[in-house]
Amino acid sequence: MDTHLAALLQLQELEQRHRELHSQITTLPQRIAHLEKELQPARERQQAAAQAIETQQGERKQIEAQVLELKQKIEKSRAHSAEVKTNQEYRAVKDEIEWAEREIRQREDRLLALMEQAEKLEAERAGAQQTLAEQEAGLAGRREEMTAAGEVWRGEQRELEKEIHALRAQVDANLLHRYDRIAKLRGKALSAIVKETCSCCRVRLRPQFLQEISNHPERRFFCEYCGRILYQATVEVPPFTGDIQVAG
Ligand SMILES: [Zn+2]
């Protein structure tokens, strides 16, 4: 295998890694945002409890105002009872007071029930709040981890870009052009010949073609079906040293 092909093979690997990193990095904000959704149930529970408490407090205030009004009414009736002249009038005032007292008792019973309920609601809200706080703490840790991973990826990406740039500068321009064109179209531009087959498109290569490939190791061959640049998988890929010789 000529050194240009060896360099391209390495380039293919680096660019593949670069693409993986790019996809990891670009989807990172989305994945971080997705983490937030995990808080939703606890947040909803907390909001529901807070809402119930508010509704309840509204009802309590209303009832307390009614009780106050009823008590004022009783005061007035009592003051009025001193001025009544007939028994009939007196009974009417007495009935009014008794009615108001019954109304007050009913409302006080309701207030007691509401107070009991309020304790449960407060406990529910506190529980939801604690769950939320715990989940938020866990999430902050994971968010930090992910952000840190993103930084590591970006660093690796920058290193890769340098290596890719150096490699590309040293590969034969025509070959590189062809490599880019195929890579853009098919993702992978280089294909190993494995068991007389193009390993990428799985098409079996013609015997004459295979013969030609082994007779001319200095030439470049392209898969007749997918157009990818072929190389012999059996040949050990020499490590790329950056020392390129022009192939014959
Ligand atoms: Zn092929």
Quote the ligand 1 centre to 26 CA distance (angstroms): 31
Quote the ligand 1 centre to 146 CA distance (angstroms): 39
Question: Which regions in the chain score pLDDT beneath 70?
Answer: 1, 234-248
User: For residue 151, what are the CA distances in angstroms to 15, 155, 165, 213, 223?
Assistant: 19, 6, 21, 45, 40
User: Are residue 139 and residue 223 in the same domain, yes or no?
Assistant: no
CA nearest 233: which of 187, 205, 198, 201? 198
Instruction: Report yes or no on 77 lying in a domain.
Output: yes
* CATH number for position 134: 1.10.287.1490
Quote the ligand 1 centre to 192 CA distance (angstroms): 9
pLDDT confidence of residue 244: 43
146-173 burial code (b ≥16 CB/10 A, e <16): eeeebeebeeebeebeeebeebbeebbe
3 state DSSP class of 194: strand
Using the Cα atoms of residue 43, residue 45, residue 50 and residue 55 in order, give the sign of their dihedral: positive
User: Are residue 207 and residue 136 in the same domain, yes or no?
Assistant: no
Dmax over CA atoms of the chain, in Å, equals 135
Domain count, the chain: 2
User: Are residue 76 and residue 156 in the same domain, yes or no?
Assistant: yes
User: Are residue 121 and residue 229 in the same domain, yes or no?
Assistant: no
Q: Are 53 and 121 in contact (CB under 8 A)?
A: yes
Q: CA 101 from chain center: how many Å?
A: 60
Instruction: Report yes or no on 143 lying in a domain.
Output: yes
User: Are residue 150 and residue 66 in the same domain, yes or no?
Assistant: yes
Quote the ligand 1 centre to 226 CA distance (angstroms): 4
d(CA 70, CA 64): 10
**Residue 87 neighbours by CB distance under 10 Å:** 8
pLDDT confidence of residue 246: 40
d(CA 179, CA 174): 9
Residues 189-199: tens digit of each pLDDT? 999 999 999 99
User: Are residue 38 and residue 156 in the same domain, yes or no?
Assistant: yes
Residues 47-86: tens digit of each pLDDT? 999 999 999 999 999 999 999 999 999 999 999 888 888 9
| Boundary (domain end) residue, out of 149, 167, 185 | 167
Quote the ligand 1 centre to 223 CA distance (angstroms): 5
- Please calculate the CA angle 94-100-101 and round it to the nearest 5 degrees: 90
The range of the structural domain enclosing residue 97 comes to 30-167
| Boundary (domain end) residue, out of 114, 148, 167 | 167
145 CB burial (10 A radius; 0-12, 13-18, 19+): exposed
pLDDT confidence of residue 245: 42
pTM: 0.65
Quote the ligand 1 centre to 164 CA distance (angstroms): 25
User: Are residue 143 and residue 42 in the same domain, yes or no?
Assistant: yes
Quote the ligand 1 centre to 188 CA distance (angstroms): 10
pLDDT confidence of residue 234: 61
Q: CA 46 from chain center: how many Å?
A: 22
User: For residue 9, what are the CA distances in angstroms to 131, 190, 213?
Assistant: 52, 7, 18
Residue with tokens 């790019």: 22
Quote the ligand 1 centre to 229 CA distance (angstroms): 8
| Boundary (domain end) residue, out of 114, 135, 167 | 167
d(CA 123, CA 193): 70
**Residue 227 neighbours by CB distance under 10 Å:** 17
User: Are residue 122 and residue 55 in the same domain, yes or no?
Assistant: yes
